[in-house]
Amino acid sequence: MLQRIQTIYLILAAVVTGVLPFVFPLWKQVTGTAIADFYFMTEISYVALFGLSTTLSIVSIMSFKKRQNQFVMGRLNIILNLFLLGLFVYRLLTVSGETSVSEKGIGMFLPIVAIVFLVLANKAIKKDEDLVKSVDRLR
């Protein structure tokens, strides 16, 4: 059933990882006197991780009949977004101070927002699974 609340959470997670990185820069780079926005498209690893996260969310939406698989895909997606967030933190800590990165963009926090939506989706999936198990006990 596609009209469940976890579907909305998964759609929001897919939008956060699939659409919003095109809109919000990850950080701003200072090159000489000009400030340039750094989007995720310039590094292939960020493109692959954001794309994989979006794909996992969409596949999880389509596997609504298999709640256990949907739950596992949600957990994998959470781990993937944590890895992506770790890459962002590593990048900020290894780049030397003000010479290269002057300010962080909103795009750095997109994996955190996606993780929140995925946790809410997994919570709703678990609630549905428990409801189905309780109904099966009554039969």
Tell me the per-residue pLDDT of 19-39, one tens digit each, with 9 for 90 and over.
Answer: 888 888 877 776 666 666 777
Q: Is the pLDDT of residue 68 over 60?
A: yes
CA–CA separation, 103 vs 58, rounded Å? 32
Q: What is the pTM of this model?
A: 0.84
60 pLDDT band, cuts 50/70/90, is very high
Per the model's pLDDT, the better-predicted residue between 47 and 120 turns out to be 120
Tell me the per-residue pLDDT of 82-127, one tens digit each, with 9 for 90 and over.
Answer: 999 998 888 777 765 555 545 677 788 889 999 999 999 999 999 9
CA–CA separation, 74 vs 71, rounded Å? 5
